[in-house]
């Protein structure tokens, strides 16, 4: 028989984001949150869960998606 485990909430990654990219983005965002950055979604979760929710909600952008103006 299987082991009963407490099932927590499951965060579904958005379409177009690979599992690897999702984990890396969430990990980087969790590090920012632990350093004191302001969460971009409702809090009440642990840091890693908050980071995953932010990535899934599109509140965290990839560096290649951000357009940076050239320095003149």
Q: What string of pLDDT tens digits covers the 72 residues of the chain?
A: 444 556 667 888 888 889 999 999 999 999 999 999 999 998 889 999 999 999 999 998 777 766 667 777
In a domain, 54, yes or no: yes
What tokens were used for 9?
């909430």
In a domain, 3, yes or no: no
In a domain, 70, yes or no: no
Are 54 and 29 spatial neighbours (Cβ–Cβ below 8 Å)?
yes
Q: What is the pTM of this model?
A: 0.75
User: In 10 A of CB 7, how many CB atoms?
Assistant: 6
In a domain, 4, yes or no: no
Are 27 and 51 spatial neighbours (Cβ–Cβ below 8 Å)?
yes
Domain count, the chain: 1
- For 22, 27, 32, 41, the CA distances from 38, given in Å and listed in that order, are 20, 15, 9, 9
What tokens were used for 3?
């082991």
């Amino acid at each position: 028989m299987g082991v009963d485990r407490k099932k927590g909430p499951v965060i579904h990654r958005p379409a177009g984001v690979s599992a690897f990219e999702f984990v890396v983005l969430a990990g980087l965002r969790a590090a920012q949150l632990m350093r004191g950055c302001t969460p971009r979604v409702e809090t009440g979760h642990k840091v890693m869960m908050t980071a995953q929710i932010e990535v899934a909600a599109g509140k965290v952008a990839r560096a290649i998606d951000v357009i940076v103006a050239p320095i003149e």
